[in-house]
Structure 1
Amino acid sequence: MDPTVRRYLDDLVDAARDVLDDDLVGAYAAGSVGMGAYQPGRSDVDVALVVAGPLDARRKRDLVARLRHEALPCPARGLELVAYTRAVAGSGTPEPGFEVELNTGTQMPFRATWDPAERPAADGRFWYGLDRDILHEHGYALLGPPAADVFAALAPADLRRLLVEALRWWLALPTPADDAPAPGAEDAVLGACRSLVKARDGVWLSKVAAGSRLADAGYESELIGRCVAARAGGVPPSGAEARAFQRRVLAEIAAGG
């Protein structure tokens, strides 16, 4: 793990424990950090906190105040933090189910969501079930029991439904439709690769690892190769190429293939 990120995560856990005391069951690095794929300057820091029971409004506010970038500077692009009760984490529910959500950082708009009902449907409600499924497989325990003992996997039908929702959400975002290189299109392609590998093989991989697995098997090798190279400074694909790829992946996952 990047030593700067490791120190930040240690400080984050200490701050969370100051607020939550014995109600803090565990803290887990997720996303690229949990998968060992953190890329300085590009990756976010994703953290899931697990608490013994529901948090009252005061402790939610105190937690956000202690962990937001202005109080605890995040060394990455930003922090995406979600707190769950132990019951929700272990339930396998596809619903958001969180206690509080915080997005904060120098390159990330501040956002605090105090209740799942406040999460606009247009912003996607599929993230949380998918994130907990990834945590079950790859969560890095900063505090508490192993992630696989705390977070339950999604049922196969729920997993497929959320993968489909996620792809449809990404396809609905504004994207250049011409053939010019579109910065960020490489992540759209590689994110779809990760979903397809999970649907086909039942494992979560980082975006680059998922793309490499598919390319090595002969699936869209040329496009995926360009996308992997783009993450290291190469020319990204066009928005039109990314959308067409996402549609092909969506069709396969939706069909149950």
Structure 2
Amino acid sequence: MHPDVRQYLAELVDRARDLLGDGLVGAYAAGSVGLDAYQPGRSDVDVALVSADTLSGATKRALVAALRHEALPCPARGLELVAYRREVAAAGTAEPGFEVELNTGRAMPFRATYAADDRPAADGRFWYALDRSILHQHGYALLGPPAATVFADVSPADLRRLLVDALTWWLARPGPPGDAPAPGAEDAVLGACRALVRVRHGVWLSKVDAGRRLLAVDGLGFAAGATDGYADLIERCVAARRGGPPPGGRAAREFQRGVLDEIRRAAL
């Protein structure tokens, strides 16, 4: 773990424990930190807190005040923190189910959401169950028992439905016309690679590792038939994560649609 992130997470856990006391069951690094893929200057810090019981409105607001970037500067692009009740974390539900969500950082718009039902559908409600599935496999325990014993995985049917929702959401995002370079398309393509590897092999990998897995092991044929030309696209997306130019929008969308079609067929 990057030293700055380690120190930051230690302080974050101390502040959460000061506020929640014995009600804090555990704290877990997720996302790129949990997947050992943290990239300074690009990655976020993702954290899941688990509480024994429902948090009061005052406690939720106190967590936000204590952990927002202005109070505890995040060394990464930003902090994405979600708190769950222990019961929700263990349920394997496909619903958001969170107590409070905080997005904050030097390069991240501030957002605090105090109830799962307040999460706008247009912003995607699939993130949380997918994150808990990743935590089940790869959560890094900062405090408390191992993540695999705290977070249940979602069912295979719910997983495929959530991935269909996620890929549909990414495809609906606006982008430049034609095959002009599309900033951010590398994340969409490599996220699709990660979804495909999870469905085919049952494992969560980082975005870059998932792209490399498809290149090295699976090949790039979808269930509906062969698809040519995507090796260069994935290589370009991996390079874009290191500062190279983004891929073209048309090729990125074609690849995402191919992954979406395969996962839809798997769901049937």
For 1:123, the equivalent position in structure 2 comes to 123
Deviation by residue 1:110-142 (Cα, 9 ceiling, x = unmatched) = 100000111111111000000000000000000
Q: Which runs of 5+ in 1 are unaligned?
A: none
Q: Which of 238, 241, 262 is the aligned partner of 1:252?
A: 262
2:13 is the counterpart of 1:19: no
In the aligned structure 2, how far is the partner of 1:82 from the partner of 1:50? Answer: 9
2:62 is the counterpart of 1:62: yes
In the aligned structure 1, how far is the partner of 2:70 from the partner of 2:210? Answer: 35
For 1:235, the equivalent position in structure 2 comes to 245
RMSD between superposed Cα atoms in Å: 0.9
Q: Return the TM-score normalized by structure 2.
A: 0.94
**Deviation (angstroms), 1:84:** 0.3
Matched AA of 2:36: G
Identity between Structure 1 and Structure 2 (%): 72
- Per the alignment, in what secondary structure is the counterpart of residue 38 of structure 1? coil
**Deviation (angstroms), 1:212:** 0.2
- Per the alignment, in what secondary structure is the counterpart of residue 136 of structure 1? helix
For 1:146, the equivalent position in structure 2 comes to 146
In the aligned structure 1, how far is the partner of 2:171 from the partner of 2:80? Answer: 22
For 2:233, the equivalent position in structure 1 comes to 223
For 2:223, the equivalent position in structure 1 comes to none
- Per the alignment, in what secondary structure is the counterpart of residue 255 of structure 1? helix
2:222 is the counterpart of 1:212: no
In the aligned structure 2, how far is the partner of 1:40 from the partner of 1:28? Answer: 19
**Deviation (angstroms), 1:233:** 2.1
- Per the alignment, in what secondary structure is the counterpart of residue 36 of structure 1? coil
**Deviation (angstroms), 1:68:** 0.4
Deviation by residue 1:40-85 (Cα, 9 ceiling, x = unmatched) = 0000000000000000111011111000000000000000000000
- Per the alignment, in what secondary structure is the counterpart of residue 182 of structure 1? coil
- Per the alignment, in what secondary structure is the counterpart of residue 260 of structure 2? helix
Matched AA of 2:8: Y
Matched AA of 1:177: P
**Deviation (angstroms), 1:108:** 0.6
In the aligned structure 2, how far is the partner of 1:105 from the partner of 1:15? Answer: 17
In the aligned structure 2, how far is the partner of 1:182 from the partner of 1:168? Answer: 17
In the aligned structure 2, how far is the partner of 1:246 from the partner of 1:210? Answer: 14
Q: Return the TM-score normalized by structure 1.
A: 0.98
Q: Greater CA deviation, 119-128 or 173-182?
A: 173-182
- Per the alignment, in what secondary structure is the counterpart of residue 64 of structure 2? helix
**Deviation (angstroms), 1:104:** 0.3
Q: Which runs of 5+ in 2 are unaligned?
A: 221-229
Deviation by residue 1:69-110 (Cα, 9 ceiling, x = unmatched) = 000000000000000000000000000000000000011111
Aligned pairs, number:
257
For 1:201, the equivalent position in structure 2 comes to 201
In the aligned structure 2, how far is the partner of 1:161 from the partner of 1:108? Answer: 28
Query: Which aligned segments of 4 or more residues in structure 1 are displaced greater than 3 angstroms?
Result: none
